[in-house]
A and B are shown apart, each in its own frame.
Chain A
Amino acid sequence: EDQVTQSPEALRLQEGESSSLNCSYTVSGLRGLFWYRQDPGKGPEFLFTLYSAGEEKEKERLKATLTKKESFLHITAPKPEDSATYLCAVPINQAGTALIFGKGTTLSVSS
């Protein structure tokens, strides 16, 4: 069964304290892995797409990496404005359109 599991469910960090979020997946034939950020009461905001093992992408304090079984979202020196729920998703159909989402990691960064 196709599945996406994110850990931890919640993460509290002090400002400047770097950490990583994990997304593990079991799908046959990965057709991309997507990271989104979601603020309360809003729709997900696109962050990254990764397609192959070894691929890395960076944006400001965030870096996403991908292996054959999991992806990591590294947050370097986070700030309070990085507080949000981070979601990962993978397509589960041949066309690559139907996304299955993990339950997310809710990050809280305090100053």
Chain B
Amino acid sequence: GAVVSQHPSRVICKSGTSVKIECRSLDFQATTMFWYRQFPKKSLMLMATSNEGSKATYEQGVEKDKFLINHASLTLSTLTVTSAHPEDSSFYICSARNGRGADTQYFGPGTRLTVL
């Protein structure tokens, strides 16, 4: 149980384009999902918290207009990187937490974004 998937696993795009990353909880309903970013040899940094049916909460320093988050259902959250630039290249990882009081976050396999 507690499986989280992400799609795509890798994406390469040109500067100025937008990229959408999907995060799905496969065997449980996730009232809350989280988006993290990880640079090489660095730890995970929380970008935003996504609650189903409401607006995402962004961490300080994260541009909400650049990183659009939608949590349309209890099993799906999406992160759209708009007008991507090379400095947005990173490893993006989502996690999900089920809504029945358990507070462990289960992580997806990550998406490697490379912006040329």
A interface residues with partner B (beta carbon < 8 Å): 31-32, 34, 36, 41-46, 49, 87, 89, 91, 96-104
- Given that A87-B43, A101-B44 are known contacts, is A34 also in contact with B107, CB under 8 Å in the complex? no
- Per the 8 Å Cβ criterion, residues 36-50 of B in contact with A are 42-46, 49
Asked if B64 is at the interface (CB within 8 A of a chain A CB), the reply is: no
- Given that A46-B104, A97-B32, A99-B105 are known contacts, is A41 also in contact with B49, CB under 8 Å in the complex? no
What's the A-B contact tally at a CB cutoff of 8 Å? 55
Main secondary structure of the interface of B (DSSP, over half): strand
Bound complex: CA A24 to CA B43 (Å): 15
Q: Inside 8 A of B49's CB, which chain A residues have their CB?
A: 97-98
Q: Inside 8 A of A31's CB, which chain B residues have their CB?
A: 103
Q: Is the CB of A101 within 8 A of B110?
A: no
Instruction: Supply 18 further A-B pairs (C-beta < 8 A) apart from A43-B107, A46-B106.
Output: A32-B103, A34-B105, A41-B91, A41-B110, A41-B112, A43-B6, A43-B95, A46-B2, A46-B107, A91-B103, A97-B49, A97-B97, A97-B103, A98-B49, A98-B59, A99-B34, A101-B45, A104-B43
Q: Inside 8 A of B44's CB, which chain A residues have their CB?
A: 44, 87, 89, 99, 101
Q: Is the CB of B34 within 8 A of A44?
A: no
- Given that A87-B43, A103-B42 are known contacts, is A43 also in contact with B110, CB under 8 Å in the complex? yes
Bound complex: CA A46 to CA B4 (Å): 12
Min CB–CB distance B21 → chain A (angstroms)? 12
Residue in chain B with minimal CB distance to A32: B103
Q: Inside 8 A of B2's CB, which chain A residues have their CB?
A: 46
Q: Sample 23 A-B pairs with CB under 8 A, ordered by A number.
A: A34-B104, A34-B105, A41-B110, A42-B109, A42-B110, A43-B4, A43-B108, A44-B44, A45-B107, A46-B2, A46-B106, A49-B104, A89-B44, A96-B103, A97-B32, A97-B49, A98-B49, A98-B59, A99-B44, A99-B46, A99-B105, A103-B42, A103-B43
